[in-house]
A and B are shown apart, each in its own frame.
Chain A
Amino acid sequence: MSKNLRILNNKFIDQTSRISFKFDGKTLYGFKGDTLASALLANNIHLVGRSFKYHRPRGIMTCGSEEPNAIVQVGKDHSMTEPNARATEIELYEGLEASSQNCWPSVNFDIGAINNFFSPLIPAAFYYKTFMWPASFWEKYEYFIRKSAGLGKSPTEPDKDIYDHRYLHCDVLVVGGGISGIIAAKMAAQNNFNTILIDDKNNLGGTTIFQQNECFKINNSFSNEWLKKEIESLNSIKNLTIKTRTTLAAYHNYNYLLARENLTDHLNLNEKKDKIRQRLWKIRAKKVIISTGAIERPLIFNNNDRPGIMLSSSIKKYIDYFGVKCGQKISLFTNNDSTYETAISLSNSGVNVNSVIDIRDKSNSSIVKNAEKLGIKIHWKHTVINTNGYKKINSIEIMKLSDDGNGVIGKKFKEECDCLGISGGWTPRVHLFTQSGGKLKFRDEDNVFLPDKSELNQVSIGSCNGDFELNEIIKNSVSSINKFLKVNNNSYENLEIISSKEVDKKNIWLLPSDKPLGKTKPFLDFQNDSTAKDVKLALAEGFKSIEHVKRYTTTGMGTDQGKLSNMHALGIIAEIAGVKMGELGTTTFRPPYTPLTFGTIVGRNVGEFFDITRKTPIHDWHVDNKAEFENVGQWKRAWYYPKKNENMHDAVQRESKAARDSAGILDASTLGKIDIQGSDASEFLNRVYTNAWSKLEIGKCRYGLMLNEDGMVYDDGVTTRLGENHYLMTTTTGGAANVLSKLEDYLQTEWPELDVYLTSVTDQYATVSICGPNSKKILSKVIPDLNLSDEEFPHMSYKNGLINNIKCRVMRISFTGEHSYEINIQSSYGKSVWEKCFEAGKEFNITPYGTETMHLLRAEKGFIIAGQDTDGTMTPVDLQMNWIISKKKYDFIGKRSLYRSDTIREDRKQLVGLLTDNPNEVLEEGAQIVAETNKKPVEMLGHVTSSYYSPNLKKSIALAVVKNGKNLKGQKMFVPMKNKIINVTITDTVFLDKENKRLNAKL
């Protein structure tokens, strides 16, 4: 480390605690409290990256989140690296490894820099223009462009760090812990508002905390000393929570804000383990106070992007806060007073200030006078016309400005320097205000956009509200807060504040040079390499909207989102277009304010918590018996139960055969169940199902189809009449929540006169379904007291039963076409009943089957699955289920739509069966069906909705929807696949046991 770049500063940097880190493979040292940027500068490293397009050397330019250049790759491990981190925000820790990005092979020798010499050939939108045509060439260009462009590398493996989320509700949220934020937080909390103060830095105090200057005093103390006491006083205040290292990322409507808290990024490598790295706070605040400060503007002049050219206020922070000299011979270039604070700080720290080049004619403020007293040389009404030095600035060229400011006059002269501080005035950070929907107004006097109207309960104070001078900041903040919180705090009223007042202002968006614009490189957007010339070109080419110019030139589209560049782009556009800046408007500031890692956004919703999983009461049995699982909505359902060496096909064939030959057992607990009670329950079912319900006897079950008002099938299921006014409805597994919500909707909004109550009981019952010719024998073993005779207990009826004194309901219903029973018992006994049935069925080779076999068995019978064979465009008529539409009922949901001109068309797609000519050929679900293969374009007549190989029929079967299908029975069709055409014949939808012999067999 070059010792002479550090001065003694014990306030913020612990110079007794040395930290080693690596940058571009080289081991360097810094101190606790440093940022990566301050530590690099202390090591005399300015050059940290290359620009995006021309690969020009770029150096650290700022000390905060607005940094456009010093974006680095963090982490040594390629799989876990993090790109695009700002060196100015990375707190130094033991073991930190970072490297330059966007350069190859190295930051010092970058092959892409050749673009710099071709730059006249790479104007705005060069990539758009050049590589757009011919389109097929893009594939060839892309590889090279991606390699030489792009910002950093993505990690290749899942993020191992842990992130989480927290909700937070408060009365007042104060964003920004500078002087105005601290005053605001204190006032709010003292007035019993539950208050949160957040700041993105590790210390509160903003820029005032290191402001030790005779020109800025409060009650006869330096402003930093006064503020330090204020901060200390916060500790004793109740109701106040302070969160440092917390950046506000987004400000949404209804005062909903997202903030990212950094919990371990500043810790040494060995201290990070097993801790939450970053936490996303989801904050709902009754009131929001924005005190986010302002960003210093650069100046736009020829070659203003060399390493060593920095924002003047940043040079001040590096010397006053970090104790780091950014150079040994520093020149300053300004259009306002604030640079003189830097000049004085440097001078007080023993750093040689060459001169201040000020474009103004003069300034009579106290700070300028103080600088002059210190012997600092000032070139009034001069401008920098060029800079020299490739990897680091070594000199600047200066000329006198013409009276109108459009040109330069006189003789140019050179000044040697190793650092140039630039200051173009201040831009209030109105990002959050505009994110929240607030409208801006323009202040002509100093060319700033300021918060104007907002619908939300919020206020902006301090320099983000356009107050830049100490006395105004305090005075106006206090009165704003009093008004905003409706309190009357006068503890700040009698402060004696000394503050230098700036009266002379001058602004030139694009500073003139002795060369024409075409020959210069005045950079606007440092990260995206767009120059003032590019913006002019865009305007010349006819772009008028600021949003279009932004996208065409990519100005403001980097990871810094144009925090430094936007104002100048607007200024230049306004000038050329001859409109007022206030009328031009701004581009939109979108969240996040600074980039968030994906890890922070998803929090703990990874791995096991990526999505909710629902389990049936019998789930553990399926796991123990090696079931494969299928996701059905959020449910984990047993899919099939492979035995040793069985694949899915083998298992499903075995299960399907067993279910028809002897006995199968299925966990049907996932079906939605709705308990319906009330004196109008029957009338209600009449209105929601297509068929009639009034005459259903108590103890009987009925299948129902539910439509949408548009006549399309929505859901289906069996409903059982438990009592005079009491039904149990079942829905599909995936449709349960939606059906309940839809039925509640009708009851609450359309038919409030009906006396009907719905209660979801889906999770109350486990459902064990036993099917097959031996199902009756098995059930009689499980519930010996139950009379299972066909007379007493026919198909589509139910009985109450007791299994070991536990109540259950048994429905004789069938989704397979086999004789079958469903036992519904309260969930806590579900697994035990399942095991009991399994035990009782052992002598009949009872076979557990999963959803795949269930689907196969019902397809053999031509039973539909709502959502698989229907897709929201199928009416019951399309499904050839006319029998289920009551002719007698005056109305039901969707009835009127069944005879709209569109729904009565004969050539709608209708559900049919398909048999392949080759019985061993199984169709793919989703495959298209055509009548002719030669005609082009081929007319798609429909598609396959369900397809299986049936072990019971020993052939392939499929269900499909086909245009005019119900009139095409027996017709040959084709299913064209990638490498073959499959011949099929349209058939009836029922493939097995059309006469229902199995269902009605005497067992």
Chain B
Amino acid sequence: MLNYNSPIKDSKNYSEIKISEVETTAKINLRGKNRDFITKVGKELSIIPPTDPNTSSGNDSLNILWLSPDEWLIYSNNKIDQKNINDLEDRLYNSISKVKIGSVSNVTDHWVMINLKGAKVYELLSAGCPFNFNKFKNLKGAVTQTLINHTDVIIHNKNNNDLNIFVRRSFSNHLWSWMNDSAKFI
């Protein structure tokens, strides 16, 4: 057996902020330009990739985040085992990449997902993030790519004061430390 090692394996509580790593959600990067691509993804997943900037679409199991006019990130809401991740990747790869209408890359381990919950999450973000959350915080499903303390992140407004933040694995320990340090001073 190989041991599964996520980089953070932790969850912390502060006054009105909870920070936790969410392990083994599937993440797949999709790229494509034409209508066939959108239709195919919609057919395979029963979710249409959003074409409005800074938005997402989804159902009970999956979310599709808009990253750019030709790029999306799919992630699962729940923990999902290795085989199902592979199956999802293969299904999408065969119906999209193989037929030359776009690209499908498994980025499950490329991104680490950190969940931020609580009334003061936006105060925590304001310590290192130049993005203006004034509108974002009231738009459920809103997505942004920006920087938190000089580190690239994707932020998904999952619910009121409930955010999923995606950070590249190699940066995740540093961002985790920074978030915990900042949370002390909120």
Contact = CB atoms under 8 A, between A and B. Distances in A.
A associates with B = yes
B12 interface: no
B110 A194 contact: no
A276 B5 contact: no
Interface stretch (A4-12, A827-835, A902-910): A827-835
A169 B134 contact: yes
A832 B97 contact: no
A827 B109 contact: yes
Given A829-B3, A829-B5, A612 B168 contact: no
Contact of A679 (B100, B105, B108, B149): B100
A261 B78 CA distance: 43
A835 to B, nearest CB: 8
Nearest to B32: A757
Interface in B1-53: 1-7, 24, 29, 31-32
A764 interface: yes
B127 A614 contact: no
Given A764-B109, A827-B169, 8 more contacts: A167-B128, A284-B130, A605-B149, A609-B181, A615-B170, A617-B7, A675-B105, A828-B24
Given A162-B185, A194-B134, A677 B105 contact: yes
Contact of B2 (A616, A763, A764, A833): A833
B148 to A, nearest CB: 11
A839 B131 CA distance: 47
Nearest to B104: A677
B35 to A, nearest CB: 15
Contact of B169 (A162, A608, A617): A617
Contacts of B6: 828
Interface string B129-173: 111111000000000000001110000000000000000111101
B102 interface: yes
B31 A826 contact: no
A741 interface: no
A828 B4 contact: yes
19 contacts: A164-B182, A164-B185, A169-B132, A169-B133, A276-B185, A609-B149, A612-B151, A612-B171, A614-B170, A614-B174, A615-B170, A679-B100, A757-B103, A761-B105, A762-B170, A763-B169, A803-B2, A828-B5, A833-B2
B180 to A, nearest CB: 11
Contacts of A776: none
Most buried by B among A165, A616, A675: A675
A804 B2 contact: yes
B109 A167 contact: no
B59 interface: no
Interface string A534-559: 00000000000000000000000000
Given A762-B110, A803-B2, A826-B108, A675 B103 contact: yes
Nearest to A677: B103
A675 B108 CA distance: 14
A414 interface: no
Interface size bucket, B side? 35 or more
A108 interface: no
Interface in A334-390: none
Most buried by B among A282, A805, A827, A833: A827
A725 interface: yes
Contacts of B82: 805-806
Contact of A764 (B3, B70, B110): B110
A475 interface: no
A730 to B, nearest CB: 15
Given A759-B107, A831-B3, A616 B127 contact: no
Interface in A751-767: 755, 757, 759-765
Interface in A618-643: 635
B68 to A, nearest CB: 10
A123 interface: no
A759 B174 contact: no
Contacts of B132: 169, 284
Contacts of B5: 617, 828-832
Interface string B74-101: 0000000010001000000000011010
Contact of A635 (B32, B98, B170): B170
Nearest to B168: A763
A805 B171 CA distance: 28
A282 B173 contact: no
B110 A761 contact: yes
Nearest to B178: A609
Interface residues of A, number: 53
B106 interface: yes
B48 to A, nearest CB: 19
A762 B168 contact: yes
Contacts of A757: 31-32, 70, 102-103
Contacts of A755: 100
The 4 closest A-B pairs by CB, nearest first: A677-B103, A757-B103, A764-B110, A614-B170
B150 A612 contact: yes
A615 B174 CA distance: 9
Given A166-B126, A804-B1, A760 B173 contact: no
Most buried by A among B2, B3, B7: B2
A764 B171 contact: no
Contacts of B106: 761, 764, 826
B61 interface: no
A602 to B, nearest CB: 12
B130 A726 contact: no
A1000 interface: no
A168 interface: yes
Nearest to A829: B2
B66 interface: no
A678 interface: yes
A762 to B, nearest CB: 7
Nearest to A669: B170
Contacts of A780: none
A704 B135 CA distance: 46
Contacts of A805: 82
Contacts of A764: 105-110
Contacts of B151: 612
A443 interface: no
Nearest to B150: A612
A115 interface: no
A759 B2 contact: no
A647 to B, nearest CB: 29
Most buried by B among A162, A635, A757: A757
B170 A763 contact: yes
Contacts of B102: 677, 757
A757 B2 CA distance: 32
A505 interface: no
A805 B4 CA distance: 13
Given A612-B174, A761-B105, A763-B109, A725 B4 contact: no
A23 to B, nearest CB: 32
Interface string A816-830: 000000000011111
Contacts of A612: 149-151, 171, 174
A119 to B, nearest CB: 51
Given A755-B100, A759-B107, A763-B168, A164 B3 contact: no
A409 B116 CA distance: 78
A761 B178 contact: no
B22 to A, nearest CB: 13
Nearest to B151: A612
Contacts of B7: 615, 617
A747 to B, nearest CB: 10
A604 interface: yes
Nearest to B169: A763
B2 A164 contact: no
Contacts of A725: 97, 100
Nearest to B130: A167
A246 to B, nearest CB: 16
Most buried by A among B97, B131, B134, B178: B97
B139 to A, nearest CB: 15
A826 B89 CA distance: 14
